[in-house]
Every structure is written in C-alpha cells, then in structure tokens.
Structure 1
Amino acid sequence: MKILVVDDMPLMRHVMINMLRRLKYKDITEATDGAQALRLLKAHNFDLLITDLNMPRMSGKELIGNVRQDQKLTGLAIVVVTCDDNKQTILNLISEKIDGMIVKPFTLNTLQKQLQYVANRRDKLPL
C-alpha cells in the first residue's frame, strides 16, 4: 500500500510515519501542505491519503475537494487526522466522502483500527 501523509507540522508527520512503519507499512511519502500533496498525487499513484485539516497554502479540506473533483483521484481512500472534533466539522467531512477520521491525540491502536476499517470498507466498494 502506497501512503501519502500530509501535515504542516514536521513532528506530527514523523509521529504518523513512525506509527505506520510500526504497523509494517513501508511505502510512505510525506508532504508539508495540501498544495505539495496535490502535486504528488497527480504525479504518482497512491492508495491512501492521510491528511491534516489545518495547513497553510492549501488546507486539508481544500485538498480533499480537489481530490474528489479529479477523475483520476476520485477513488483515492482518504483519512483525516484533526484535533477538531466539532460535530459540524465531522458532518462536513462526511459530505466530502472521506473514508475515515482520527482525532488527535491518538494511539497506535486507534490508527490500526481506522486503517483496518478503511481497508474493510474499500474491499466492499467498487472502485
């Protein structure tokens, strides 16, 4: 599985990447904001996008909107990682057709369960 991790905070990116490696994921690329992520998504094939919401230049919400509007990227699995657990934010993200959401701070177990949920959900959906 090829994964793109997007967060403007280097520490958060490294925490996520280290957790993914502990879960035996090896093909991981990182981006510092939505604009860089979009360029990478258009240039390479990824199976999963894990993105923060609040970032400079292009927010995670804008990135998700761009991904869902691009015919080549529309089927990409997306997991959002955010510290915002506001009900309206969650409803807005669901309307953007994300596959999963993790609220910061989170544990390795939480990440593993969310990735398993996305994998199970994706197995049942035609892409």
Structure 2
Amino acid sequence: MKILVVDDMTSIRHVMLNLLRSINYIDLEEATNGWQALQMVKKNRYDLVITDLNMPKMDGRELLKEIRTDEKLKHTPVLVVSSEQDKERVKELIQHGVNGFVVKPFNAATLQKQIQRIERQMQIKANK
C-alpha cells in the first residue's frame, strides 16, 4: 500500500511515518502542505492520503475537496488527522467524502484500525 503523509510539521510527519512503519506500511512518501500533496497525487498513484487538517498554503479540507472534484483522483482514500474535534468541521469533511478521521494524539493501534477499515471499504467498492 502506497501512502502519502501530509503535515506541515516535520516532527509530526516523522512520528506518523514511524508509526506507519511500525505497523508494516513501508511504501511511504511525504508532503509539507496540501498544495504539494495535490501536485504529488496528480503525478503518482497513492492507495491512501493521510493529511493534517490545519496547514498553510492548502489545508486538509481544501486538499480533500480538490481530490474529490478531480475525476482521476476522486476515489483516492483520504484519512484526516487533527487535534481539532469541532463537530461542524467533521461534518463538513464527511460531506466532502473523507474516508476517516483520527483525533491527535493517537497510537499505532488506532491508526491501524482506521487504515484497515478504509482498506475494507475500498475492497467492497472494488467488488461492486
């Protein structure tokens, strides 16, 4: 599974990458903001985009919106991670088609459960 990790904070990106490696995901790339991530997903195929919500240039919500409105990218799973728990913001992400939402801080088990749930969603869609 090829995963793109998007976060403007280097330390958080590295924690996320290490967590993913600890649960045996090794095909990983990283982006520092939503705009950079969007350029990367337009050039490469990713099985999952894990993005922070609040970032400069283009935030996670805008990135999700761009992915969902692009005909070639719209089926790419997106998992949002954030310390923000505002219910209206989460509802907005759901309306834009987010596949999952994880509240920081979280551990490897929580991350793995979300990724496995998204993988099952994608298998179901592929079998239809």
Give the TM-score normalised by structure 1: 0.97
Give 5+ residue unaligned stretches, structure 2.
none
**Cα distance, 1:32 vs structure 2:** 0.1
Aligned to 2:59: 59
Aligned partner of 1:54: which letter?
N
Q: Secondary structure at the match of 1:113?
A: helix
Q: Can you list the C-alpha shifts for 1:69-88, whole angstroms capped at 9, x where unaligned?
A: 11110000010001111111
**Cα distance, 1:90 vs structure 2:** 1.0
Identity of aligned residues (%): 46
Matching of residues 30-109 of structure 1 within 5 Å: 30-109=30-109
Distance in 2 of aligned mates of 1:110 and 1:47: 19
Q: Can you list the C-alpha shifts for 1:76-122, whole angstroms capped at 9, x where unaligned?
A: 00100011111111111100111111000001111011111111111
How many residues align? The count is: 127
Q: Can you list the C-alpha shifts for 1:41-94, whole angstroms capped at 9, x where unaligned?
A: 111111100000100011111111110011110000010001111111111110
Runs of 4+ in 1 over 4 A off after TM superposition: none
Cα RMSD of the aligned pairs, angstroms, is 1.0
